[in-house]
Amino acid sequence: MSMTHPLTTTAFDLPGFRITKSYGVVRGIIVRSRSVIGNFGASIQSIFGGNITLYTSLCERAREDTFNMMLTHAGQLGANAVIGVRYDATEIAPGITEVLCYGTAVFVEKVNG
């Protein structure tokens, strides 16, 4: 089960909070490859059609890992929130993919009222 952080958003503001400081872009990056065994298992699954769970699992793990790396990067800067969160993926070579999660690290305070 993928976890999230309560002060992250794809939007550029957090309702109920005021941004008091911006630390700039933070990111998490990972490069993953599919194993020969994983490719074989996925090939078998593709014969029957539908969701190829081996690849879905690999993608979910890569996204979760990069998200957590991004949060760590933000925390190291002193941020308590990340806004404008995005993911990107690029195939570097056949079977080798870079996954990037990035956003803007900010410090927010709860708005009274």
Q: Is residue 98 in a domain?
A: yes
Q: Could you give the number of structural domains in the chain?
A: 1
CATH number at residue 82: 3.30.110.70
pLDDT digits (tens, 9 = 90+) for 25-72: 999 999 987 655 555 555 565 666 566 677 778 889 999 999 999 999
74 falls within a domain? yes
**Assigned domain for 60 exists:** yes
Residue 89 lies in a domain: yes
Structural domain for 33, as ranges: 17-110
50 domain-assigned: yes
Q: Would 8 be classed as within a structural domain?
A: no
Looking at the domain assignment, is residue 5 inside a domain? Answer: no
Q: Within a domain: residue 61?
A: yes
Dist CA 103 CA 107 (whole Å): 13
Letter string b/e over residues 90-106, b meaning 16 or more CB atoms within 10 A of that residue's CB: eeeeeeebebbbbbbbb
- What is this structure's pTM? 0.81
Instruction: State residue 1's pLDDT score.
Output: 35
